[in-house]
Amino acid sequence: MEVSIIIVNYRTSDLIIDALETVYEHTKGIRFEVIVVNNETDEKGKRRILERFPEVNWIEMGYNAGFGRANNLGMRHAKGRYFLLLNADTLLIDNVIARCAGRMDADPEIVAAAAYQYDGNRQPMPFYQSFNDFRKSFFIVPPGRFFANLLDRLLPEPVYADPEQRDWLVGAFMMVRKEAFEKTGGFEESFFMYGEDVEWSGRLGRLGKLKLFKDCIFLHLENQNPYRRSRISWINRFSVQMQVANMVWLRKQYGIPYYLLMLVHYLSMIPVVYGWRLVMNLKETGKVGGQYATQHIFRRKTLILVSYFWKTLNYKAHFFKIKPEENVDKLYADT
């Protein structure tokens, strides 16, 4: 068995059926198995998928374990030389799986590889190029070249001899050698959703190369899960679930001092963003009140981060799934 394709299901049976249609249509010249790890308790999705694809290896998680834990369970059952983590909301347009596996066969230094994400209109999706590129996005600084240049100097991009080499790979389409999973233990299971692919990439990168193949693409539709961002703005770039995961990643990969720096940064920005809005209100209307919704969202998100302070310091003892009442983006979605 060359490739084990692992997909996590949580209320995404229609998407999985569409994804598997493209997998079976385009994947040629390579033996593969499909494993679906089920994070939901409703049997309807299971019946629909297995009626269409009875050969699928179906594994019950028993609860909504998020992305990392479910994929780890799937990889522990996988038989392939390579494990392909594939999001439910993806579509293939050519024989990309066999092509990626062939390139990893040709270069034993590659421990994990990925294809480029394109959206449903077949346009390239923006993504972070490195850990430092990702870290720069955490800072809320005024727009303009001065602060951009300052962050570039403080957090420079890595330079590799191979232009396809990367710090980290996106988990929506991520092919990993079986041996690399066995040596690293897979995803850090304190993550519920988001950030786990970044964290695992850091450990995988110590074993060998991570490659992003420029001429390999897949379509990522990005289904509307309840933790996705809404009302995105200059100061609200991440959903609460994303930001909690980001802070756990910072704590683990860069230590307590860097984690504290970011937390202090966000707290110090609360009066700044309110003051900025007040000044703009005076300029635009001559009044102090009104138009503070974005600032209120930022304040609420930051205070939720603070509430996770002790848990984040001792991250291995916790499972970072936010509570429904902490999902600020969803609460403000209709306002």
What pLDDT was estimated at residue 335?
Answer: 47
Is residue 144, in this structure, part of any structural domain at all? Answer: no
Is residue 26, in this structure, part of any structural domain at all? Answer: yes
Is residue 149, in this structure, part of any structural domain at all? Answer: no
- Whether residue 272 sits in one domain with residue 181: no
Is residue 88, in this structure, part of any structural domain at all? Answer: yes
- Whether residue 256 sits in one domain with residue 202: no
- Whether residue 253 sits in one domain with residue 208: no
Separation of first and last alpha carbons in the chain: 51
Q: Are 54 and 31 contacting, i.e. CB atoms less than 8 angstroms apart?
A: no
Helix axes 196-204, 240-285, angle to 10 degrees: 120
- Whether residue 187 sits in one domain with residue 274: no
- Whether residue 190 sits in one domain with residue 248: no
The label of the residue with tokens 């003051």 reads 275
- Whether residue 255 sits in one domain with residue 180: no
Is residue 246, in this structure, part of any structural domain at all? Answer: yes
- Whether residue 62 sits in one domain with residue 182: yes
- Whether residue 252 sits in one domain with residue 186: no
Handedness of CA 206, 201, 183, 161 (dihedral sign): negative
DSSP structural state of residue 165: B
* Number of structural domains in the chain: 2
Beta strands in the chain (DSSP E): 3-9, 32-38, 57-60, 82-86, 90-91, 110-118, 173-177, 209-220
Last residue of a domain, one of 220, 251, 285: 220
- Whether residue 252 sits in one domain with residue 200: no
Collapsing DSSP states into helix, strand and coil, what is residue 114?
strand
Distance CA 257, CA 46 (A): 45
Segments forming the whole domain that contains residue 117: 3-129+166-220
Cβ atoms < 10 Å from Cβ of 285: 11
Is residue 154, in this structure, part of any structural domain at all? Answer: no
Helix axes 43-52, 13-26, angle to 10 degrees: 20
- Whether residue 259 sits in one domain with residue 215: no
How open is the CA angle 90-92-97, to the nearest 5 degrees?
110
Those residues whose C-beta lies under 8 Å from the C-beta of residue 119, and which sit 6 or more positions away, are 125, 219, 220, 221, 222
What pLDDT was estimated at residue 231?
Answer: 62
Report residue 34 as tokens. 């499909």
- Whether residue 291 sits in one domain with residue 209: no
What is the biggest distance separating any 2 CA atoms in the chain, rounded to whole angstroms? 70
What pLDDT was estimated at residue 228?
Answer: 63
CA 270 remoteness from chain centre: 26
Cβ atoms < 10 Å from Cβ of 264: 10
Distance (Å) of CA 63 to CA 30, 46, 185, 194 = 33, 14, 21, 18
Full DSSP string of 2-51: -EEEEEEESS-HHHHHHHHHHHHHH--SS-EEEEEEE----HHHHHHHHH
The label of the residue with tokens 């001792």 reads 314
Distance CA 10, CA 65 (A): 10
Q: Are 57 and 34 contacting, i.e. CB atoms less than 8 angstroms apart?
A: yes
Is residue 147, in this structure, part of any structural domain at all? Answer: no
CA 169 remoteness from chain centre: 9
Q: What is the pLDDT along the chain (335 residues), one digit of tens a residue?
A: 899 999 999 999 999 999 999 999 999 999 999 999 999 988 889 999 999 999 999 999 999 999 999 999 999 999 999 999 999 999 999 999 999 999 999 999 999 999 999 998 899 988 888 999 999 999 998 888 998 999 999 999 999 989 999 999 999 999 999 999 999 999 999 999 999 999 999 999 999 999 999 889 999 997 666 666 666 676 888 899 999 999 999 999 999 999 999 999 999 999 999 998 888 888 878 788 778 888 999 999 999 999 999 999 999 999 999 999 999 877 776 54
Full DSSP string of 54-73: TTSEEEE-SS--HHHHHHHH
Is residue 145, in this structure, part of any structural domain at all? Answer: no
What pLDDT was estimated at residue 225?
Answer: 65
Distance (Å) of CA 308 to CA 50, 267, 301 = 40, 14, 11
- Whether residue 93 sits in one domain with residue 185: yes
What's 186's domain CATH number? Answer: 3.90.550.10
Residue type, 174: M
What pLDDT was estimated at residue 240?
Answer: 93
